[in-house]
Structure 1
């Protein structure tokens, strides 16, 4: 897709906000999305890290305040900052997530830790969506992308629940909930221009040691997120995708 297709006008370029984008998949998604002509706003809990990340990219800037998606006041502060400039939002990519514990099972899970993961992976995306929805409604082509996982699926032939043997239970359960939220939100917004989908990036090398899990480079995982963020008006809604292909969940 060309730069011209992604730009509503010179005065009002298409603008995307990506959470957790100071490193890893979020940063690579920002890089690839900016290359299409989208103006990308990088958000992170540490605004200095967000600023350093934005300096690496053409067509990007940092959210001037820190954004902790698990904190309602922090999200409200981000909305206020974003509302002042640029005043509307075209693409929201809920990328920020808790690091998965790949060994914890449902029977032995620390439920306090589980609540913290769900607070980020589910309620963080939910909180961001509710908070930024008024700005998204100002856009002609609004898109919401929830970065999820096939680990929260019965049908994913690579990472689904039947294959995991109960491992990474908290991660999988939180992502299943995020998939359900995506479907419910898309159904609610079916008669609006807002297109909502979830994307599984696959096992991606977003942290040291991930390569030992057969993780692929972020450059291979980000295109699926960019695709969902730039869908045409007749694009799919409410689905879970990996590499542009539908995943059953």
Structure 2
């Protein structure tokens, strides 16, 4: 069943990522890490659905999505990027994506961080963040989505890898691509859960490195 929901608030998260707060239908429930199909409630766009992950928690009063806008794609996210407070989105029922299976290492590439946002928020709220770690790969520092939130929730277990610029003397930034050597240098136990989400090529390489290192990762492709 689809719900047509009003946008209550829009915030810029980075230069090309926005956070949308929407009304929430009565009795609408989902698990951290789940997603749904979203379409723009405008002529010509209602049938064009795209999957987005909830970044709010099921007990929150509103629904929240963090969405990367791709103006050059001339598509749904460009339309979403042009929406204003009071406009409407069509939101379907939730469906499963990545599920939390216990303390481990999360590897995210760019906008692939979104399924992990609610998982970490939920763990943090329940005081169960434990020794979970996040390795987050981005092109530049300004691309890091919700950097302050992750630093607050994870502290030193939040590791940023920056691929297209030299990071400025901050121990949270490790210069370069996440490759097999990088993973070996950061992780000493490959027998724990691994969660991978990013664009197809990122996932493929992470899965291969992790399997070579003896891990059994769970992955979700974040479609750009």
How does the TM-score come out when normalised to structure 2?
A: 0.35
Instruction: Say which structure is richer in helix.
Output: 1
How does the TM-score come out when normalised to structure 1?
A: 0.32
Instruction: Say which structure is richer in strand.
Output: 2
